[in-house]
Each structure stands twice: as C-alpha cells, then as structure tokens.
Amino acid sequence: MAAGLVWQLRFQTDEYISTHLHKTINEVVVEYTPNEKIERPRVDHTYDTMLGMKKTYLFMPIREGVTLMRPYACWCKPCMQAWAPGEGSMNSNYVCKDCVSPQLEWKETAIGRTDAAGVSNKKQRSLAKARELARQLQAHFTKSNTPLWVAVQNRGEDDPDEYVDAS
C-alpha cells in the first residue's frame, strides 16, 4: 500500500481528528544515523547519470534501461493505480486517466549500464536484433521486390532520426 494512502487512512479519519483536535505537540524528537555508519551493499554494476535527478522526486521504471520521472509526486487514486504505460490507469502516453494534477507530466529517460558487463550485454542484444531485422529484410526481398521503408530512431542521441529507403 502506498505511503500516502496509509497516511490518509490513519490520520484523515473522523475518529482520529475528533480525538486529537485539541491536543498540542510538546516535543519533537529527531533521530538520525551518520552517513559513515550506514552500510551499503556493493554492486557489481554501474549506471549512467540520470539528468535532472536532483530536481525530480518520483520515478517509475517501466522496462530495462527506461525510467519515467516526475518533478513531484501525485497521491491521487488514479496515479496510485498506475504502474506502467497501458496498465492500471496510465495510458500509452504516460497520462493517468482522471489525475487531479495533470500538469505533473511523466518524462521518459534512458539509463544504461556503464560497467563492462552491461556494455557488452547491450552490444550482444543490439547485434542479435540487427541480425534478426536483416533476416526479415532478406525474407521480404526473396518474396517481393516492392519498395520498403525502414525507420531508424536514435534514442538518447543528439543526431536527428534517419529514414532509409531499403529497396
């Protein structure tokens, strides 16, 4: 259950409000652990730096290497029921139907592994995909010699998309 929903169910009830309305806070105790005492597990991989991360407060990983980010969280029911594009209350354009804060748009960002194993695995997947696409093109041209357009999108790069006539 989401933290915001738990908070609402506990503190925004008529019973809680009526029993705590006239009470005052007499003491606030803050406990903390110094950074050097926090034991963090070692990981065998590293990732790219996510641009805008320090100005963002909500993230939703949607598939390997791709994460949605929002500047602020929205705790409305439709947003709490969204867990991926096209699933729950989120459509394929990353919009939650009936969200009370439609100005809080989700933005897609790519996060790739930068360690040797991650780079090697990405190259292997890219080569396998390229071979499969080449096989599909070859199969097309053995059946027919009709023109075929192939679109190539450079995700995350500054170069514009290229459109190539494969015929």
The pair of three-digit structure tokens given for residue 85, joined into one six-digit string: 């594009």
pTM passes above 0.95: no
pLDDT at 165: 52
pLDDT in tens, 100-155: 988 888 888 887 777 776 667 777 878 888 888 888 888 888 888 777 776 665 55
Domain assignments of the chain as residue spans, ordered by start? 1-10+47-112, 116-165
